[in-house]
Structure 1
Amino acid sequence: MKNKGFLAVGGVVGAAIVYSIVTFFGPGSGADQSVELRPDDLKLVALGKKVYDANCASCHGRTFEGQDNWRERDANGLLPAPPHDENGHTWHHPDAVLFALTKYGPSVMAGDDYKSAMPGFEDVLSDEEILASLSYVKSRWPKEIRQRHDQINLSARQQ
């Protein structure tokens, strides 16, 4: 029964984060909706692998597996790093949201009272490096997940 309570709380927190992100990136937000991942750009993806390996893999895993129990807060109240493969939720977000989460960090995106171990990379990586790392991640998704992600992007751009 205890696990159901944790899952319910996790669901509420997750919904609050999604609401914050949608609100932040809604029409008129000024967010750059033109960000577009390029998983078929081999040069960009090669750069992305280097950037990912150096800056992301230590938490999200070399094979995008994420950390154990990534849906449950740890003893410090932080959520472990989620997987970036088809089993995670990364592909559920449009390109512009993924870019902003990486650049500014989840705490900025979801509000200052949201606690996350993930930093923003605004002062560490260039926009091209962020785009490259995310393009690399997307390039590793199965075809059907990439197609579903493309549909999410299409819907986000039509709003």
Structure 2
Amino acid sequence: MRDVVIGTVFAVLAAAGFWFVFRQGTTENASAAPMDIAEGKALYAANCASCHGAELEGQPDWRSPGPDGRLPAPPHDETGHTWHHPDNVLFDYIKLGGEGLMAQQGMEFDSGMPGFGDSLTDQQIRNILGYIRSTWSEDVKQAQAGRTKADNGAD
């Protein structure tokens, strides 16, 4: 029982920390070239599927920290929380990785998510995000777009 309580407290604190960090600045460039969904799908398969699943399903028990304190890789389908974040957060998290993004904000936390900024171009990251987004329903796409718009300070 104690382990469940500790795990739950850790998950809530991690989520609060992510929310705070993700409200900060971004390296995302809104004037990018159009996304190539086919390339994004191939890049996802090569770089992301080993952790996040070939069908974007994530790892089992992704909401519960493992023995190392890290949360397993979440799904990127509609059952996960990817669509709860604005575009700039998703972009920066892929480019910098969890530890890198937190360090940029003056926080020390390693989520286990590696950064891909050295191996993927900004456009390739946008293409991966475009592929992930292309699998969502229109309602989920609109909800995520609303979060992006709100984060950018638009009305």
TM-score between both structures, scaled by the size of structure 2:
0.87
User: Deviations 1:72-125 (Å, cap 9, x if unpaired)?
Assistant: 111122211000011111111111111110000111112352122211001111
Q: 1:44 aligns with which of 20, 27, 36?
A: 36
**Greater mean deviation of Cα atoms: 101-110 or 51-60:** 101-110
What is the CA distance between 1:32 and its match in structure 2? 3.8
**Which consecutive unaligned segments of at least 5 residues does structure 1 have?**
26-30
Contact 2:32 2:123 in 1 (8 A): no
- Whether 2:154 is the aligned partner of 1:153: answer no
Q: Size of the alignment, in residue pairs?
A: 150
User: Deviations 1:118-141 (Å, cap 9, x if unpaired)?
Assistant: 110011111111000010000001
| Equivalence for 1:62 | 54
Q: 1:83 to 1:102 in 2, by over 3 A?
A: same
| Equivalence for 2:87 | 95
- Whether 2:139 is the aligned partner of 1:144: answer yes
Q: Which residue identity is paired with 2:10?
A: V
Contact 1:70 1:79 in 2 (8 A): yes
Root-mean-square deviation (CA, aligned residues, Å) is 2.1
**How many angstroms apart in 2 are the aligned matches of 1:73 and 1:148?**
27
Contact 2:133 2:141 in 1 (8 A): yes
- Whether 2:116 is the aligned partner of 1:121: answer yes
TM-score between both structures, scaled by the size of structure 1:
0.85
**How many angstroms apart in 2 are the aligned matches of 1:60 and 1:152?**
22
- Whether 2:105 is the aligned partner of 1:110: answer no
| Equivalence for 1:85 | 77
What is the CA distance between 1:157 and its match in structure 2? 1.4
What is the CA distance between 1:71 and its match in structure 2? 1.4
Percent of paired sites with the same residue: 37
**How many angstroms apart in 1 are the aligned matches of 2:43 and 2:28?**
23
| Equivalence for 1:28 | none
Contact 1:37 1:134 in 2 (8 A): no
Contact 1:70 1:81 in 2 (8 A): yes
Q: 1:118 to 1:8 in 2, by over 3 A?
A: same
**Which consecutive unaligned segments of at least 5 residues does structure 2 have?**
none
Contact 1:103 1:122 in 2 (8 A): yes
